[in-house]
Amino acid sequence: MAKEFQFNWKPTIIPELLHGSVFDRYDDESTCLELNAQVRIDENGFFLRWLIEGKDAVVLDMGQIWEARTGGLPKDGRIMFELEQRGASETIAERTIWITHGQDLVNVQSFFLVAESVELAKTCRAGINDILKSSRIRHVCPTTQLMKYHTWLTMNVNERRKIPIKLIIKTFSSGKPEKMVQKCLNDLGLGGDKYTPARVINRSMGKKFRNFYKCSRGRKRKEREELDVDILTFEKFQRLYNKICPRTEVQELFVKLSGQKEYLTKERLINFLNEEQRDPRLNEILFPFFDSQRIVALLKKHENDIKYQEDGKMSGDGFLRFLMSDENPPVFLDRIEMFMDMDQPLCHYYINSSHNTYLTGRQYGGKSSSEIYRQVLLSGCRCIELDCWDGTGENKGEPIITHGKAMCTDVFFKDVLVQIRDTAFARSDFPVVLSFENHCSKSNQLKMAKYCMDIFGDMLLSKPFEDAPLDPGVSLPSPNRLRKKILIKNKRLKTDIERHQLDQFLREGKLDEEDELNETPEVVGEDSVSPREMPAKENDEAHPELKQNFIAKNLKGFGFSKKQPVLTKEEEERIFAEYHYTGATTNIHPLLSSLVNYTHPVKFSGFDVAEANNLHFHMSSFSESTGLGYLKQSAPEFVNYNKRQSSRIYPKGARVDSSNFLPQIFWNAGCQMVSLNFQTPDVYMQLNMGKFEYNGGSGYLLKPDFLRRPDRTFDPFSESPVDGVIAAHCSVRVISGQFLSDRKIGTYVEVEMYGLPTDTIRKEHKTKVIPGNGLNPVYNEDPFVFRKVVLPELAVLRFAVYDENGKQLGQRILPLDGLQAGYRHISLRSDTNQSFILSPVLFVQIVIKTYVPDELSGLVDALADPRAFLSEQKKRQEALAHMGVDDSDIPDVPNTRNMALRHVKQPPRQNGSSADLLANNGQTGSARGDQTSSMASSTIRSPNEQPQPVAVDKFKVDPIEVDDLRRDKAFAKLLKRFQKELDDLRKKHQKQRDSIQKQQPARRRNSSIAWIQTNVDKLITNNRRSTKKEKGSRRSLTASVSSGCGSASGTVTVSVCSPSGASCSGYSTGGPSTPVACNSDGTGSPATIGSPVPQDLVNNDRVRSLVNTQTGEWSAMVRRHDEEEFELKKVQLKEQFDLLRKLMSEAQKNQMLALKLRLEAEGKDLKQTQTKKSMEDAKVIQLDKGIKTKAERDRRVKELNEKNLKMFVEERKRLAMKAQKHEEQLTKRHLDQLEQLDKDFHKALDAEVGNYKEEQLAAQPTSVV
């Protein structure tokens, strides 16, 4: 239930009107004055009535009165003569109250009340306008509306000052027969008295008619019935209403709530008010729940049974009275008052705006009126349009207002300003914007400026405020700051040009002739064009149709005369399309230009240009077609533009019938001034009037937060909830209607929603037609569901009642943001948003809650009511027990959702050195050890405990190991080739050694040589061992003996001194080896191990020469062999690493390819899953019997498809981003691997070179002797 709000709708009635005063009355069609009319207003301010002796009362609904203003002198001379006879002629205008009334803005009627004194007229005029200024009476409850109709019956008396029974019977004739109503009247003692009306012959009738009445005097006249006013009390009228129209649907609801009892207990009533009649989204502090204390106060108001009041009970009658009271409104009643913040910049508000305000009909050939400006402003409009042209003919020299070149009539610009001055702030104190479309010459522009200054006076805002200059980045002033100010929207000169020309004008009283005649290209306006592009001056006239050539060209072809052309709609459109409608003039007078400030129109050059300029006082106008184009192309930019400055949207030129477009489209984008044709009360105009009915009818509505804040982004075509805004779910069940029509005809109800494109639902939710009952049809339809309302702040509900022929009987616009949940009565309005004398009422049930997706509804229900969820589990347990199943026999089973995750198929591990190098769970040795330990620990879980699903990274890859590459076939083959080449080289070297050995002397037989061989052999053996031990060389200096000691020519390695005496080498002989010591001078000494060497042999020159020669040749050969083997190993090492690099590049390429293939496979799988899910969802929706209409089914399918698409697109994006991340990481890893491979190559090469150099340094001369 809503927070308690004191709704005092009764206006204050001054005593002169409450008790009645005497006036003389006449209207424009009267030819005589009605004297001494008793004029009064009832105590509730419902009606104004005047009584004239001997005539029926005339009752006028105060809701249909536009205003009471100072009247002029009567046009008819006889009336003027009679008034002069009854009072001072000089005060007739001041003593006259001019009352205008009508059911729409165009068909306005007037009558005049002439008071006895000026003071009485002034007091009554102000009293009537004060009543009209309050809009609360338009939002009264159905009970008050019944009271209003009862007041109308009691005031609408006949000449005998009694109530005609026929009025009461006619009230219920649309659903009940006359005899039945008459019987109910008799049962309640309201049958009345019968009388025969006296014959009245009007003197104005002709002689034949008077003779006819004289001849029929003998005929019996029909008796009429009447009722005393005092007898028909409101309580009896309520009883009559309940007797003729029993509310059976309310009684059924009461029985359901009370549990088949005759009363509602306090507990049940509290539960009903807090559960059924309350929006669950409301704050509990600002909107407190009903408690016992509030229930007691409620019972005192609506329960008439004292016993029930004391017991805390409510009867069925009290329940009905509550449902029809002011405490059960469909919209929060505080929204009727001023509840919005009015201190925001002007561009942060929606402004009620009018297009071509002066027209009362069609755009082509229509009639212009200055009076309609009054009705438009009194209806709450705050931006009106004035198309200004130079007068022609008898109006020459005066600015006029007309639809130029469209064959429309004219009104004077000055007269329109007077009407604006009188009514601009009669209903609202907030600023009025005058949108000038200026086609006048400078002379007439000067008159326009002077008229504005003289007529408006202080109301005109002629210069900006000092604290809000017209500088970049400065925000517009607020509506509160601009209270009772009139702003002019007109093209303006550049600042320096304006200052120069204005100084000249104020100094000299005129402008230069060149300035008077030439257009001013320096003007800054909406439709500025260069002088070359402007049409000729003679073509820029308001009425080219008055020329002979125009009439002959355009009208003779249709067969019409000059005097009164009557065109069809198609002909109007054809002629209208042939005109080149020129834009407003750029030849602006500096005085008029100086009056423009915060509504400075400029030609739109792009959203980026406007953002760069950052001039908040600049605004642009767009036709609806152009606006739709910008919305379609750059919707978020358009929204941001409207956060900073204002925009105005007007109907396209093809709407010659003055039809309107859907304003909601541009409200969604934050457009402030969506201008409509007020003279056409179509559905879109009803939306506009219904929307601006709230916030005190000020004409200003604060835009939602996300359409004002620059740090928020918003797309008006969004189909997903906006950040910070919670989507709503709304359903409406139409139960019944009352007093829907005054005819006995079939009716049906249509419920629509307007908001964002995704929220808008039109022509879809309709009830069945209830035939032959316009009084109290019962529909009892299934709820009309609006499942997902993305932006409730922008959405409105429209209720409309139509007869069986499609004619609208009533409508109402309710904002979803202020809508109340529960069982509500909704009073309907006319197509012009005016109230009826007896308003049609709909009884509906409204459910509003937070939108919850279908897949989360079960969870939300469980969280909202855990007891119900647990009781559901308990019910299942009891049902199984009833079937003989013991609960202890049922094991705990895992959640099916977790099971689904566990059953995800794991892709196999793949080798990193082949084409499939992707590994889903590649780990290092330590990681594998951790996994092993975790697996071991998982084996000791309890049987009921389910293991957690392991997240699988589908894009993780194993690093490429060099050892794996070395095991590749190509690399093994390369190594075999390398070994073969090395073996071949070594065989070649061995052959060379063998060849050299064969070339040595074969016959060395003397004993000295044998002795040398034996001792050198020993020396060489010892030398070899010491060399291996000290240097660890991988090669030993050995001599190959072909067949051992038993060969024909034995080979013995002998250690000898080099020629330089620096080192020793071995040489081979045929006998046993014997170590020989080498001296520093090249002489050798026998070793101490063997037998001593003869001194003469050591000093033998021949032996020494032989040893030196053999040593040099052999050592050179050994060095050459070592170098060749080293070069071969270098080449092999380079080829080896080149092949490793190639294999690694191929493996990396395969990894990348596998990564992309996996992404493509995942994308295909996602598409297949999406298609499958969409088909399954569509099938579920098709089988859902709760969805009644095809449109709702299609919308649900579309919503699910879009949801699935968004979900899978996000999933694909996530996978793509993850794959890209892995690809980047893999690329970096690949580069690191190649870099490391290059480092390994250089390191191995450096090691080989180092070993070679070390061996060369450690090598000694060797020889074979």
pLDDT in tens, 1031-1042: 443 343 333 333
pLDDT value at 486 more than 90: yes
Task: Tell me which range, 873-882, 980-989, 1009-1018, is most confidently predicted by mean pLDDT.
Answer: 980-989
CA-based angle 1025:1029:1035, to the nearest 5? 75
- Are 150 and 234 in contact, with CB atoms under 8 Å apart? yes
Of 1053 and 1234, the structure prediction assigns the larger pLDDT to: 1234
Query: Would you state the CATH architecture of domain 9-134?
Result: Roll (2.30)
Element holding 1168 (H helix, E strand) = helix 1101-1183
171-185, 403-417, 489-503, 547-561 — which is least confidently predicted?
A: 547-561
Q: What single letter denotes the amino acid at residue 1142?
A: K
Which has the higher per-residue pLDDT, 173 or 1?
173
Residue matched to tokens 């009764």? 10
pLDDT on residue 789: 92
CB 329 within 8 Å of CB 336: no
How many C-beta neighbours within 10 Å does residue 1096 have? 8
Q: 949: pLDDT confidence band, cut at 50, 70 and 90?
A: very low
- In degrees and rounded to multiples of 5, residue 809 shows phi and psi of -100, -25
* Residues marked as catalytic: 355, 403
Q: Let me know: does 428 contact 458? Beta carbons within 8 Å.
A: no
**pLDDT tens digits for 901-918?**
344 344 433 333 333 333
- pLDDT tens digit sequence for 527-545: 433 333 344 444 567 776 5
**Closest to 720 (Cα-Cα) out of 1182, 1205, 1217:** 1205
Q: Is residue 513 part of an annotated ligand binding site?
A: no
Q: Which residues pair with 110 in a beta bridge?
A: 100
Higher pLDDT, 286 or 459: 459
Asked if the model's pLDDT at residue 746 lies above 50, the reply is: yes
Mean pLDDT of the chain: 80
DSSP 636-651: HHHHHHHHHSEEEEE-
CB 1019 within 8 A of CB 1074: yes
What confidence category does residue 948 fall into, taking pLDDT thresholds of 50, 70 and 90? very low
The answer on pLDDT for 817 being more than 80 is yes
Q: Model confidence at 920, in pLDDT bands (50, 70, 90)? A: very low
Predicted pLDDT of residue 876:
64
- Higher-pLDDT residue of 1033, 1116: 1116
* Residue 484, H or E segment: none
- Over the Cα atoms of the chain, what is R_g? 53
890 has pLDDT over 80? no
Q: Amino acid identity of 486?
A: I
C-alpha dihedral sign at 681, 686, 688, 692: positive
DSSP code of residue 534: S
Residue 793 is predicted with a pLDDT of: 93
Largest CA distance in the chain: 195
Residues 413 and 395: their CA atoms lie apart, in Å, by 11
Q: How confident is the model at residue 1258 (pLDDT cuts 50, 70, 90)?
A: confident
pLDDT(480) > 60? yes
b (16+ CB within 10 A) / e for 541-574: bbbbbeeeeebeebbeeeeeeeeebebeeebbbe
Q: Please state the domain extents for the chain.
A: 9-134, 141-214+223-244, 245-328, 346-706, 718-851
- Assign a CATH topology to domain 718-851: Immunoglobulin-like (2.60.40)
> pLDDT above 70 covers what percent of the chain?
75
Share of the chain above pLDDT 90, in %: 48
**Residue 219: pLDDT above 70?**
no
* Rounded Cα–Cα distance for residues 839 and 829 (Å): 7
Go through 765-774 and write b for each residue having 16 or more CB atoms within 10 A of its CB, e for each that does not.
bbbebbeebb
For 220, the token pair is: 């019996």
Handedness of CA 842, 380, 367, 601 (dihedral sign): negative
Average pLDDT over residues 1181-1207: 80
- Is the pLDDT reported for residue 19 higher than 70? yes
Q: What share of the chain is helix, strand, coil (3-state, %, to 5)?
A: 45, 15, 40
Angle at 911 between CA 908 and CA 916, to 5 degrees: 80
Looking at the predicted structure, is the pLDDT value of residue 950 above 60? no
Q: Where are the beta strands (DSSP E) in 426-572?
A: 432-438, 486-489, 492-493, 523-524
**Upper half-sphere CA count for residue 1003 (Cβ side, 13 Å):** 0
Sheet holding 841-850, edge to edge: 784-789, 728-738, 841-850, 822-827
> Does 304 appear as a known binding residue?
no
- Cα 903 → chain centroid: 40
pLDDT at position 1152 is 82
What's the rounded mean pLDDT across residues 840-851?
A: 94
pLDDT bucket at 919, cuts 50 / 70 / 90: very low
- Residue 251 phi/psi, 5-degree rounding, is -65, -40
Cα 490 to Cα 592: distance, rounded to the nearest angstrom: 8
- The pLDDT of residue 1057 is 38
Is 385 annotated as contributing to ligand binding? yes
| 1190 backbone dihedrals φ, ψ, rounded to 5° | -65, -35
The hierarchical CATH code for the domain 245-328 is: 1.10.238.10
Residue 1249: is its pLDDT beyond 60?
yes
Instruction: Residue 1153: name the closest of 1219, 1097, 1200 by CA.
Output: 1219
Distance of CA 826 to the CA centre of its chain: 29
**CA 112 to mean position of chain CA atoms:** 52
The answer to whether 104 is a known ligand-binding residue is: no
Give the pLDDT of residue 708.
Answer: 94
Which class does domain 346-706 fall in? Answer: alpha beta
- Token pair for 1231: 């580069």
How do residues 1090-1110 score in pLDDT, each as one tens digit?
445 556 655 677 777 877 887
